[in-house]
Amino acid sequence: MSTSPAPVSVIGLGNLGRALAEAFLRAGHPTTVWNRSAAKAQPLVANGATLAATSAEAVAAGELVVVALLDPSAAREVLTGAPEAVRGRALVNVTSGGPQDARELADWAAGHGAQYLHGAVYAVPQTIGTAASSVNYSGSRAAHQRWQDQLALLGRHTFLGTDAGQASGYDVAVLAGMYGMLGGFLHATAMARTAGIGAAEFTPMLVSWLTDSFPALETFAEEVDGADYGATESSLAMNQAGLATIIRASREQGVTVPTLAPLKELIDAQVAAGHGAASLSRTVESFTDPS
Amino acid sequence: MSTSPAPVSVIGLGNLGRALAEAFLRAGHPTTVWNRSAAKAQPLVANGATLAATSAEAVAAGELVVVALLDPSAAREVLTGAPEAVRGRALVNVTSGGPQDARELADWAAGHGAQYLHGAVYAVPQTIGTAASSVNYSGSRAAHQRWQDQLALLGRHTFLGTDAGQASGYDVAVLAGMYGMLGGFLHATAMARTAGIGAAEFTPMLVSWLTDSFPALETFAEEVDGADYGATESSLAMNQAGLATIIRASREQGVTVPTLAPLKELIDAQVAAGHGAASLSRTVESFTDPS
């Protein structure tokens, strides 16, 4: 026999929160929603959701409370602003943030009788709530087990461990890598345009080359793990020369180099320290030892 | 009936030059080689290549002269240092450089009775001289047609047009994008390490997420071509908040942000100019209009 679906709340109705609230409604859960600007809640209310007057009321209304806000300070404000309401709740926070944010909220929740599970969502807006998106969770194992059917509405999900900061640790690292690629795309597209090449014509060539470069990243990763930068096909000196050419060509085309110039400075410092024959991957050391 | 293979020269014996010289030797071409440090020529000489005493001698020895040096100034030095020897030769320069470098050498070659073809090689060292590598050429159409069988030894080849700078224009733009991704990889790997995640464990996750982000690049490219940044799922304000989180988390983990901080400054300026609701892709404008 089936039990009635548990009451749930969704706080924050951006792309992610909206998609999740809709999925909860479809699955028959009594669903309470809250958003700073209430207008975003109207389509959900039309589909049966309850609009809470305050975020604390929304926290109190759900056994499962999903927080999907824009930044970690907003998530902290909403949760710590409802210290009585959180008791006995499972708090699932899928707001992007750093590992430290998640650990602090997990400690706070434990001190107020709530379970805390942090989720890092890997989805573009088009794939939220589909099998093409995935979420890494860490924190309360009990909450992950109890609510796994509901969490499945957000996409494939993996439990990484009981350190609430772990999912965010992966997340911010992956996003740092993605923003590097986005910065490269923006620079590259500016160069293509000044060379008379349309962005839509150029981008597939760039994507193809980035894809071809992925195996090199895996080689670099092995070098980094072994701290063994000696046997390389991609030396710091070679990359120094390559970057110098790209930077010069950019400037000749009237394109600025805000992200590549600092990268070259790191490589220059490695070469100046006598590592010109070592692998480009050695530059990873410069990010944690800026001396 | 077959004609005897034409004499060819390869100047510069890095990964690319060596692979090409080996392919020429296998195809039966009388092959002359030159490299600044002669030691790299020895395995080729053992296979039948002739080592020239000077780069000018190497230029003079080939009907087809391939120049594969480390940087454009070295290529310029070798070619313009042999003004008599180049007459009647097809000069194929596959040295990485900017469009302006290629155009200047093409003009110089035309003034000295030589054909000039510039090649931009898309290959990692492991794929040089295989079907997995490709070369875009621009410049002398006659040279590309006359020597296409020999050029095929370097990989798939495409003739883009008679502007000698065009192949390099694509090339430097693609490489700028690749270095953006590499900078992101280095930063991301530093963050993963400080979070206790091995680089080899982390990199496949990063690669998977970068791959999932490629369709977003194609959307951004359409926005850029239309200069229409309004209908977006990835607003500047949202990315500003995301980057702020990543930068703060990086610093909390002891990781510096040499490439992401300048990217965030560009986004900050776009938001400050009133474009917070516009697409992240609008930042491409900041690379050519730094005001």
Q: What count of other Cβ atoms lies within 10 Å of the Cβ of residue A232?
A: 19
Nearest by CB to residue A246, choosing from B176, B187, B202, is B176
Give the C-alpha separation, A208 to A35, whole Å: 41
| Chain-chain contact of B182 with A186 (C-beta, under 8 angstroms) | no
Residue of A nearest to B168 (CA): A249
Residue B162, helix vs strand vs coil: coil
| Chain-chain contact of B245 with A176 (C-beta, under 8 angstroms) | no
Q: What is the pTM of this model?
A: 0.81
Q: What count of other Cβ atoms lies within 10 Å of the Cβ of residue A271?
A: 18
Q: CA-CA distances (angstroms) from residue A126 to A20, A44, A149?
A: 13, 19, 22
Nearest alpha-carbon partner for A34 in A19, A48, A17, A22? A17
% of chain A with per-residue pLDDT over 70:
97
pLDDT in tens, B188-218: 999 999 988 899 999 999 999 999 899 999 9
Q: Does domain A8-162 have CATH number 3.40.50.12280?
A: no
User: Can you tell me the mean pLDDT for B175-196?
Assistant: 95
The pair of structure tokens assigned to B25 is 């030797």
User: Can you tell me the mean pLDDT for A157-176?
Assistant: 93
| Cα dihedral: A231, A235, A237, A240 (round 10) | -160
Predicted ipTM of the assembly: 0.81
User: What residue spans in chain A does CATH classification 3.40.50.720 cover?
Assistant: 8-162
Q: What count of other Cβ atoms lies within 10 Å of the Cβ of residue B39?
A: 8
pLDDT category of residue B108 using cuts at 50, 70 and 90: very high
User: What residue spans in chain B does CATH classification 1.10.1040.10 cover?
Assistant: 170-288
Residue of A nearest to B281 (CA): A186
| Chain-chain contact of A210 with B210 (C-beta, under 8 angstroms) | yes
Q: From 1.10.10.60, 3.40.50.150, 1.10.1040.10, 1.20.120.140, which CATH number describes the B170-288 domain?
A: 1.10.1040.10
pLDDT at A113 over 90: yes
Contacts of B173 in chain A (CB under 8 A): 188-189, 191-192, 195, 197, 202, 206
% of chain B with per-residue pLDDT over 90:
81
